[in-house]
Structure 1
């Protein structure tokens, strides 16, 4: 039988506060969150906090959304349940362009755009322009602030 491990002062903090801290770690890097969870079983329990899944940094998947088609499904579902904007973008790209489910894809891309995810705002705005919904498309493209900052175009 393993000896009972004593909790650190950090692990003794209230779960609500730990959830907030872990959500900030998740926002910076999924790898850092995974390392934190591996270091402490107590913190791993708290990592299921909805704020963690909502703020989870999925940028590596967002840059290559088709790689997540058959992988990361549980992570993607958890993040979708908590309205993570990056996962809406990833699902939108997958559905709209790969699976040819344009309505579902647009729903996810619009959710990403409404959540102020810049790549989502850009792609949703462009798609709306191409589909003839000029006002809708312009609305999201203008939110990117391209008129004020021309360098913004190269970021998306």
Structure 2
């Protein structure tokens, strides 16, 4: 008995484990035979498929027709839910669907989703709630993780309009921070200063 002759449920488990470790190996299996091409559509495969190799950060204009992202998201793949939210909110701009997907991934503990959903809420005039997501990421995962998330998500601002950019600028006036805290370079700062700096870093990639 050859591998393609195994029962579908067994092949689904095998391909799910392969795809969960390596997208390149998943593609190799997909191209190897029609059986794996059929099995690749199974929910247990798409739910576990690791898309980080196929769509590495920093994310900038991910093709909105990348159907595999939306297929995986449909079956609960958390990273795919994040990517679909990013595409929808920043690039295609059905914002309601996009922000809902970002929230779903953020609530599942996806780091970049927590960061980007927080920034999206801040843009939507929900400064306190948005700040809470970013501060939670900071406290639970550490400052370096926040920095990495900011770097990974930095280029989404390239698709922001000047008007959208100005919304973030206006928020600076609403954040109460100590002048001494803002000037310093310490990672451990007060909550207000931390959010102030994060908004600045987020929009600083965009230049006029």
Shorter chain as denominator, the TM-score bin is: 0.7 to 0.9
Q: Which residue of 2 aligns with 1:3?
A: none
Residue 100 (structure 2) pairs with residue 107 (structure 1): yes
- Taking structure 1 as the reference length, the TM-score comes to 0.74
For residues 145 and 17 of structure 1, do their structure 2 counterparts lie closer, same or farther at Cα, with a shift above 3 Å needed?
Answer: farther
Structure 2: unaligned runs, 5 residues or longer: 150-208
- Counterpart CA distance in 1 for 2:99 and 2:119 is 12
CA deviation after TM superposition for structure 1 residue 65, in Å: 5.2
- Taking structure 2 as the reference length, the TM-score comes to 0.59
Pairing of 1:80-119 with structure 2 (within 5 A): 80-119=73-112
| Residue aligned with 1:24, SS | helix
| Residue aligned with 1:98, SS | helix
- Counterpart CA distance in 2 for 1:136 and 1:113 is 13
CA deviation after TM superposition for structure 1 residue 30, in Å: 2.1
| Residue aligned with 1:83, SS | coil
| Residue aligned with 1:92, SS | helix
Structure 1: unaligned runs, 5 residues or longer: 1-6
Aligned length: 147
Matching residue within 55, 64, 67 for 2:62: 67
CA deviation after TM superposition for structure 1 residue 87, in Å: 2.3
Pairing of 1:29-48 with structure 2 (within 5 A): 29-48=22-41
Superposed CA RMSD? 2.6
- Counterpart CA distance in 1 for 2:83 and 2:60 is 5
Contact 2:70 2:84 in 1 (8 A): no
Contact 1:62 1:90 in 2 (8 A): no
Contact 1:62 1:87 in 2 (8 A): no
Contact 1:54 1:82 in 2 (8 A): yes
Q: Which residue of 2 aligns with 1:137?
A: 130
- Counterpart CA distance in 2 for 1:45 and 1:100 is 32
CA deviation after TM superposition for structure 1 residue 68, in Å: 1.6
- Counterpart CA distance in 2 for 1:120 and 1:16 is 32
| Residue aligned with 1:116, SS | coil
